[in-house]
Amino acid sequence: MSIRQDSKLRQHIQSTVSYALAEDIHHGDVTAQLINDDVLASATVITREPAILCGQAWVEEIFRQLDSQVKVEWLANEGDKLVANQAFLTLTGPAHIILTGERAALNFLQTLSGTATATHNIVSQIHPNYWLLDTRKTIPGLRLAQKYAVTIGGGHNHRIGLYDMFLIKENHIEACGGITPAVQAARQLKPELPVEVEVETLVQLDEALAAGADYIMVDNFSHDDLLAAYQRPLKDGQLELSGGLDLAGLQATPTPPLPVRVSMGAITKHLQAIDLSLRLTRA
């Protein structure tokens, strides 16, 4: 199931928003107390740079939890391409509530839009036979949020945690006594879960194929080894490239004749937040 339809995501939104608000207003908002409760205002949020808009549900949840009197109106849709200085959100309601929720709302928007934008920038510049995936290298506490943002940017999700997929790496292989016994043990333990094996040589690749691995991650393969790997009897998306890849490194990689997965931690861990601004006007 895509993270975009996952019920866990809805729960994640509620809990992360609650935590973010608690960081700010656990003991109240003393500055907002300067403003009378009956003062109404409108606010407009703009982006100062091009971006892929992401994070609407978090903003809506912030003001739902703070005060449902605040009206949230979107001038662009989730996943839209925004241009510099474009207004994409208006808020109307009690001024003190808008200002209390401002920072939390912008934090989610700038972070998730940054993740979606980074993903989009890579997806738009690589060969369509590359399927870009995220990793578990996410901001602690925001994994589901960032993985959602990756899908908004045109990427795909790898495993969510350590529970929804087997990823058998070098140390697992050593501890299990080899690739084949590791895959066999995985099939016996949780036959419903996909099994991926990380390999470092063509010999290991062939063993993982013979063992019936669903996915095979080739870690830091050379140019020639990748060309040889592409000649194996692979299914679409069965092979996965990994190992500190960035856009330049991927563009220098030999283009695969069939779709391969590319897991790239940079799209979530090397985050550059989008520069946003909110301006409020008293009614």
Annotated active-site positions, please? 137
Name the β-bridge partners of 218.
Answer: 199, 241
**Residue 128: strand, helix, or coil:** coil
**Best CA proximity match to 208, nearest among 240, 243, 236:** 240
CB of 253 closer than 8 Å to CB of 272: no
CA 279 to chain centre: 28
Which candidate, 170, 123, 175, 127, places its Cα nearest to that of 151? Answer: 123
SS3 192: coil
User: Considering only CA atoms, which of 223, 229, 228 is closest in space to residue 251?
Assistant: 223
Which conformational region is residue 211 in: left (phi greater than 0), alpha (psi within -120 to 50 degrees), or beta? alpha
Between CA 83 and CA 264 the distance in angstroms is 26
Cα–Cα dist 167/189, whole Å: 14
Q: Select from 274, 275, 9, 268 the least CA-distant residue to 155.
A: 268
